[in-house]
């Protein structure tokens, strides 16, 4: 919550922790520190820096589904979508119920595919999750399919709290 409300302050604290404790903390804690720095960077619109940190963090937690999903998302943010696919496929194989991984899969998909084919990549039970339906909306919008974009955006918004309305903009990190 601190990162979302005050990313500058959170980043300063995380950098301080990293500097003071790095050599003594476990790889899992290193993963969490770098991941949270990445989130703070992205919240401050330093997208490239945050994306690179998501990728860097993987070395400290190579088998974790969140690390794999974040790595894939980092590549998507860097517009290196093909590089993201092995990581997202591995994350989904580890946990087929992780709807955030499906959202990244949609974001990483080739824009030359039909929206129907993209939708079919996601199991039916996860299609109405706000992050997934928002990714469908963005995919449709990027393909100039505004009618379907509006439909999926409405689905995304119906699954969120009133203060968390999705708009036609780039999704934030997970």
Query: How many helices (H) and strands (E) in the chain?
Result: 10, 0
Over 70: is that where the pLDDT of 169 sits?
no
Over 80: is that where the pLDDT of 3 sits?
no
* 106-129 mean pLDDT: 96
Over 70: is that where the pLDDT of 168 sits?
no
pLDDT digits (tens, 9 = 90+) for 44-81: 999 999 999 999 999 999 999 999 999 999 999 999 99
Over 60: is that where the pLDDT of 142 sits?
yes
Over 70: is that where the pLDDT of 152 sits?
yes
Would you say domain 96-174 falls under CATH 1.25.40?
yes
């Amino acid at each position: 919550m601190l990162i979302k409300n005050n990313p500058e302050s959170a980043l300063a604290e995380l950098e301080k922790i990293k500097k003071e404790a790095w050599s003594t903390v476990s790889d899992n804690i290193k993963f969490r520190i770098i991941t949270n720095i990445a989130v703070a960077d992205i919240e401050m619109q330093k997208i490239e820096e945050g994306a690179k940190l998501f990728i860097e963090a993987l070395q400290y937690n190579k088998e974790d589904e969140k690390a794999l999903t974040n790595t894939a998302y980092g590549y998507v943010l860097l517009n290196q979508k093909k590089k993201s696919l092995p990581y997202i496929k591995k994350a989904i194989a580890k946990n087929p119920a992780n709807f955030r991984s499906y959202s990244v899969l949609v974001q990483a998909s080739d824009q030359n595919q039909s929206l129907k084919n993209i939708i079919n990549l996601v199991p039916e039970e996860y299609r109405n999750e706000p992050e997934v339906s928002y990714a469908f909306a963005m995919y449709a919008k990027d393909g100039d399919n505004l009618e379907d974009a509006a439909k999926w955006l409405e689905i995304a918004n119906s699954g969120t709290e009133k203060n968390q309305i999705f708009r036609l903009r780039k999704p934030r990190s997970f």
